[in-house]
Structure 1
Amino acid sequence: PKFEDESFFQTPRIRYCALSSLENGHNAPITDLYWLPDHFEIDRLGFPTESKDDKNCQLMTAASDNQILFWDTRSKILNQKRKDLDLPMNLEIEKKEDVNKGQFVSGAGKPSSGKGSRLLQHLNTRISIGTEDGQFVYVDWIPQKDSDTNKLTTSKAEWYQSILDGPITAMKRSPFFKDIILVAGGTGFHIWREKVFSGALLQTKSFSKRICDAEWSPTRPGVFFIAKSDGSVDIWDLLDRTHVPILTQSISIHKLTYINCKIMASNQQLIAIGDSMGTLHIMEVPWSLRRIVSGEFQAVKAYLARESDRREFVKQRWDFREEEKRELERQAALKAGLGPPHIPTEDEITFRLRGDYNEFLQFEASILRELGLKDEDDDQPALVAVN
């Protein structure tokens, strides 16, 4: 007794190294946070440049005030003579807010102004966003120059669609397929392929309980976990079945709030789950759910490719049916005498003009003969072929 280290039984205190100011931060609770990779950084104008430090010094935050802010943890030396450099790194989703957002109060070091750094032209700067209304938004954060004001403004969303019946609580990119995104929220979840906007590759029916979070398996391409509000976790395996989970495990009697999978060793994989009462549940993933099946990667890849081809075929059929419907409506309106006149094509216009020109040549020759300016034996005018 009394030989133990007393600090071992005390709760460790973690002090912050940077703090965002209230006037320059979000106006609503932050819902997600993501550190930018260490090989690039964002300058004060919002353009990606090559990082010379190879350190993670910038992050982006999303909140329910319809904004995404880019932050730099290094302190800024304010210069009154160069106020034009203090532009915000601010991506607006729906509404415009204060122009000084996205800046830290304190930190260490100095942020990059973009001078002397190589601009990364071919870097993918498009991000996927989930909203409280269940909308899936695909937008490019690169600022575009406004043709009217000649100022840099946030570009509009390239695509958005309401896909779920409640707030989107999780958007997880597959660790095996970088263009596959698991979108969960409301009472269902979807699997989307990036830049395929005709529909989801996999869409489930509505569940009786709300979905709180989702997580891909780090070792198996076709396995992912869905945390629900009734305290249970659904485990899905795309190789086994795609309409129902293969297993449902009860974790807590309270609402689950967070789920994360971690590889601890070659023979051990843990899953951490948090609930609304502040309890952390750490469980070990069984061997059958962590060991990859022979040929699983190729099988899941082939399944996703088939679903992508199916969505492309459905889109083509939609376009064909829409065109067919418009043509039937036009013909019905023409028969009823209500439709607009037929709009001739370029070939039809050329054919009619050549015919009119030939008629004019023949009429001109007959007038010249009547006036005695041309004999009957004279050559006929050269007509233009109308074929």
Structure 2
Amino acid sequence: MEIQYVYQKKRSEFGRQCMFSDQGPELIDNYVSNKEHAHEYILRDPVSQGTQCAPIQAEHYLNTTRAAYVNTGINHTEGGWPKDVNIHDEEQTKRYRRKVEKDESFNPTVIQLCKNMESCILQNNAINIYQQYFSDVEPTPLVERSSARTVNVYQDQNPIKRPINHISWSPDSGTKLAITHCNLKFQAPIQNEVTHSYIWEVENPNRPLIVLKPQVPIVCLEYNQKDVNSLVSGQFNGQVGVWDTRRGSEPVELSITEVSHRDPVHNVLWINSKTGTEFFSSSTDGQVKWWDTRKLNSPLETLILSSPGQIIEKAMGASCLEYEPTIPTRFMVGTEHGIVISCNRKGKSPSEKMALKFTAHLGPVLALNRNPAFVKNFLSIGDWTAKIWSEDCRESPIMWTSYHKPMLTDGAWSPTRFSVFFTTRADGTLDVWDILQQQKQACLGVKVCDEPLRCLRTHDMGRLVAVGNSKGSTYLVQFSENLSTCNKNDKMLLTAMFERESRREKILEARNRELRLKMKTKSAQQVATESEMELIEKDKGEGSAMVFMDAHVVAAEKEFFNVVETELRGPQPEVEEHKEEEQQDEYEPEPPAQPEPPPVSPKESKGKDDKKKK
């Protein structure tokens, strides 16, 4: 059934007929705004206002209700935890989760909730055009070429460019970069020295987010992984400092000079503790110190890298530190002598704390980094090569790179692809090594700049790497996805490779020990046969006893007694020396009479004479 309604209106009600012509706009009236009245009103945002000049012809109007939008902040908190569980401590939360999972009512409750959750998920899912209809056939992965590109460049804001010593990513998914600038060259002439270091936003390379203004240049700066606003730093004069980005550009607290390091602090690392306020530092003065940010008046503990005896004058200077949060009591120190020391903080004596030592490089150890999946295997960088070690093999590395022409300056494992590690060189090249693909050369080399690269730091997601050079520029390099994601069998293949190489090195070490033992015994036998043995005869009535002594011991004793006699005599005139020599000649004992030969029978003498004639 159609419903129609006819509007009836007279022609006179429509108004005057409109006559159109070509004519420009005319200003009918102009009202000048009065700014004084603006103080009596409040601006409304947003404003929605409509105007209609013609009269409304409809009998009624209908419109939808306008939605009011309000921007508010929301704090997301994870609830349901007991009071005795610290949600910021990973170990306590994992322990509580395991306890809940072992409960008998856990599985039935989850199964009951899964039905409701599955129905909600199925309602939200759309059709996937890339869905695999045949589940038993694995899709073949696409072969992607390894590539890299420079995303951003962060430059030193000082007109006199300073080298970069340390880079640290913020724990909030790596949105910020803390970069330190300091010239560590010994007795380098520095004019108008500026001590500023910077915190950058990754997306804004034009201007630093925060400028840190210490009294002394910062050598290293490290973010707290549990607090985005908290940092610790190592200073050029040996002090350590605590920073809070919410409280300005100056340090919140500094350690006292008397209890600090004697040399520049090259490394600071946070410790996985319940309070989240403990860290430790190392310096080239040979000391490792543990600190608490709440009390920097004195260190909690100090370890001097000299064994035996805690003698700081004989200590080996620490050039780098390594700490793995999953092993809270273990840490590693790289020294200037090329030795890597694996330490245990729970040791009672210094010798127990520094139990394992690896002779790694010819020069200082510049970088140490444990593999994120295989904590027993670690990477060391020094001189012209990179080496992969296992804690089970102390004498030699299980894998190593060939010697490069330029020196290697830094290195680190990829946090997401366990077979990949990065190295920086002094010619400005960033190398990417994948030991599952090839071991003789790097699978990708990127010429980042012409200046020597000093340090690098990998992002937690694995695709971004920040590298700094000696001219104060930091380059953010992004790699292709195949260098940052693990394949299905990568972990299994890498496990087999490390076990095979460790077994091979153990066999070689045992063989070398056998050869060294054989050479040692052989050399001892040669010395015994070649050395002249002195025969001392002493008549004791019935017979003479023969005593054999080592010729070297006898010679050493004679030389020692001669030196003692000359020291006791002192300087004397020549005449007295002649007299002493004459007296010594007079009182020289006569040589012992030779024993008479036994009598010879006439038959034996006659046989000897016949032999002589023949």
Would you call these one fold, judging by a TM-score over 0.5?
yes
2:506 partner SS: helix
1:134 and 1:330 map into 2 onto residues whose CA distance is 32
Deviation at residue 325 of structure 1 after TM alignment:
3.6
Match of 2:379 among 182, 190, 195: 182
2:530 and 2:351 map into 1 onto residues whose CA distance is 49
Structure 2's unaligned 5+ residue stretches are: 1-205, 212-248, 314-326, 534-614
2:395 and 2:502 map into 1 onto residues whose CA distance is 9
Match of 1:235 among 432, 452, 476: 432
What is the match of residue 301 of structure 2?
A: 89
Match of 1:271 among 448, 465, 469: 465
What is the match of residue 251 of structure 2?
A: 16
2:364 and 2:312 map into 1 onto residues whose CA distance is 22
What is the match of residue 216 of structure 1?
A: 413
Q: 1:286-323: CA deviations, max 9, x gaps?
A: 12211223311111111110110011101211222234
What is the match of residue 262 of structure 2?
A: 27
1:305 and 1:58 map into 2 onto residues whose CA distance is 35
Deviation at residue 252 of structure 1 after TM alignment:
1.3
Identify if the C-alpha distance between structure 1 residues 9 and 252 changes in structure 2 by more than 3 Å, giving closer, same or farther: closer
- State the 4+ residue runs in structure 1 displaced beyond 4 angstroms: 8-11, 153-156, 326-339
Within 5 Å, which residues of 2 pair with 1:291-370? 291-326=485-520, 328=522
Amino acid at match of 1:209: P
Identify if the C-alpha distance between structure 1 residues 247 and 15 changes in structure 2 by more than 3 Å, giving closer, same or farther: same
Larger Rg: 2
Contact 1:92 1:154 in 2 (8 A): no
Deviation at residue 187 of structure 1 after TM alignment:
1.2
Amino acid at match of 2:301: M
Structure 1 position 197 matched with structure 2 position 394: yes
Structure 1 position 135 matched with structure 2 position 339: yes
Match of 1:125 among 283, 304, 329: 329
Within 5 Å, which residues of 2 pair with 1:22-101? 22-38=257-273, 54-75=274-295, 88-94=300-306, 96=311
Identify if the C-alpha distance between structure 1 residues 338 and 211 changes in structure 2 by more than 3 Å, giving closer, same or farther: same
Identify if the C-alpha distance between structure 1 residues 294 and 334 changes in structure 2 by more than 3 Å, giving closer, same or farther: same
2:504 and 2:431 map into 1 onto residues whose CA distance is 27
State the Cα RMSD in Å. 3.0
1:216 and 1:285 map into 2 onto residues whose CA distance is 14
Within 5 Å, which residues of 2 pair with 1:251-262? 251-262=448-459
Identify if the C-alpha distance between structure 1 residues 277 and 337 changes in structure 2 by more than 3 Å, giving closer, same or farther: closer
Identify if the C-alpha distance between structure 1 residues 239 and 154 changes in structure 2 by more than 3 Å, giving closer, same or farther: closer
Amino acid at match of 1:277: K
2:440 partner SS: coil
Deviation at residue 210 of structure 1 after TM alignment:
1.3
Identify if the C-alpha distance between structure 1 residues 321 and 75 changes in structure 2 by more than 3 Å, giving closer, same or farther: closer
Contact 2:259 2:299 in 1 (8 A): no
1:144 partner SS: coil
2:207 and 2:518 map into 1 onto residues whose CA distance is 75
1:311 partner SS: helix
Identify if the C-alpha distance between structure 1 residues 222 and 199 changes in structure 2 by more than 3 Å, giving closer, same or farther: same
1:23 partner SS: helix
What is the match of residue 358 of structure 1?
A: none
Contact 1:59 1:71 in 2 (8 A): yes
1:230 partner SS: coil
2:511 and 2:312 map into 1 onto residues whose CA distance is 43
TM-score by length of 2: 0.41
Identify if the C-alpha distance between structure 1 residues 87 and 205 changes in structure 2 by more than 3 Å, giving closer, same or farther: closer
Amino acid at match of 2:331: I
1:64 and 1:275 map into 2 onto residues whose CA distance is 22
Deviation at residue 253 of structure 1 after TM alignment:
1.3
Q: 1:169-200: CA deviations, max 9, x gaps?
A: 11011111111110002111111112420210
Deviation at residue 334 of structure 1 after TM alignment:
8.0
Contact 1:91 1:141 in 2 (8 A): no
2:286 and 2:333 map into 1 onto residues whose CA distance is 10
TM-score by length of 1: 0.64
Deviation at residue 167 of structure 1 after TM alignment:
1.7
Deviation at residue 137 of structure 1 after TM alignment:
2.0
Amino acid at match of 1:89: E
1:336 and 1:11 map into 2 onto residues whose CA distance is 77
1:263 and 1:138 map into 2 onto residues whose CA distance is 25
Equivalences, count: 275
Identify if the C-alpha distance between structure 1 residues 207 and 290 changes in structure 2 by more than 3 Å, giving closer, same or farther: same
2:291 and 2:417 map into 1 onto residues whose CA distance is 34
What is the match of residue 225 of structure 1?
A: 422
1:319 partner SS: helix
Q: 1:104-136: CA deviations, max 9, x gaps?
A: xxxxxxxxxxxxxxxxxxx77343211122222
Amino acid at match of 1:136: V
Contact 1:236 1:244 in 2 (8 A): yes
Structure 1's unaligned 5+ residue stretches are: 1-7, 39-53, 79-85, 99-122, 146-152, 340-387
Contact 1:165 1:187 in 2 (8 A): no
Identify if the C-alpha distance between structure 1 residues 73 and 156 changes in structure 2 by more than 3 Å, giving closer, same or farther: closer
Deviation at residue 331 of structure 1 after TM alignment:
6.5
2:268 and 2:300 map into 1 onto residues whose CA distance is 18
Match of 2:364 among 153, 161, 167: 167
1:190 partner SS: strand
Deviation at residue 163 of structure 1 after TM alignment:
2.3
Structure 1 position 290 matched with structure 2 position 484: yes
Q: 1:79-119: CA deviations, max 9, x gaps?
A: xxxxxxx7851010136459xxxxxxxxxxxxxxxxxxxxx
2:351 and 2:430 map into 1 onto residues whose CA distance is 39
1:182 partner SS: strand
